[in-house]
Amino acid sequence: MESMNGVQRFVLWDYPRASLQYDIMVALILAFVFITPREWFKDQPKASTVVMLPATGNGTGAFWIEADVLSGVPEAQRPAKATDLLKTRLGHKQRVVRVEPLIDSEQELKGFMAFTGQ
C-alpha cells in the first residue's frame, strides 16, 4: 500500500517545493524536453515556400518562391499565381508584376523571384 501512495504522490505532484523528490521530478521533465529526439514526434522544421526579401526602397518588393510551387504553371500565368500566393501566405496586397526563374550553373531551376510594383 505504501508503494501505491508514493506513485500517487508522484503522479499528482504532491511534493513540496525544494524537496529532493520535487527536484528529481523537475530534472526528469527537463531531461525529457531537452534530450528527446525531434524524430520521435515528427516535429521537423519546414522551410517556407515563399520568403519576403529586403525592400529595395523604390516601392517594389521582392519575394523568393520555391521552385515546386510555380514550376507547373505556364509562364504567362505565373504573376497571377504568385500574387495569389503572396496574398494567402503572407497577407501581401500588392500585385506581382514580374516573375523570373532562378537557374543555377547546371541549368537547374532553383526557384523564382517575384517582383511587386505599385
Task: Write down the pTM of the prediction.
Answer: 0.56
Question: Do residues 49 and 71 make contact, with C-beta atoms less than 8 angstroms apart?
Answer: no
Task: Provide mean pLDDT across the span 90-97.
Answer: 84
Please say if the pLDDT value at position 25 is more than 60: yes
> What angle in degrees, to the nearest 10, is found between the helix axes of 2-11 and 20-35?
60
Using CA atoms, how far apart are residues 61 and 67, in angstroms rounded to an integer? 19
Residue 45 pLDDT exceeds 90: no
Task: Tell me what the pLDDT averaged over the chain comes to.
Answer: 83
DSSP state, 1?
Answer: -
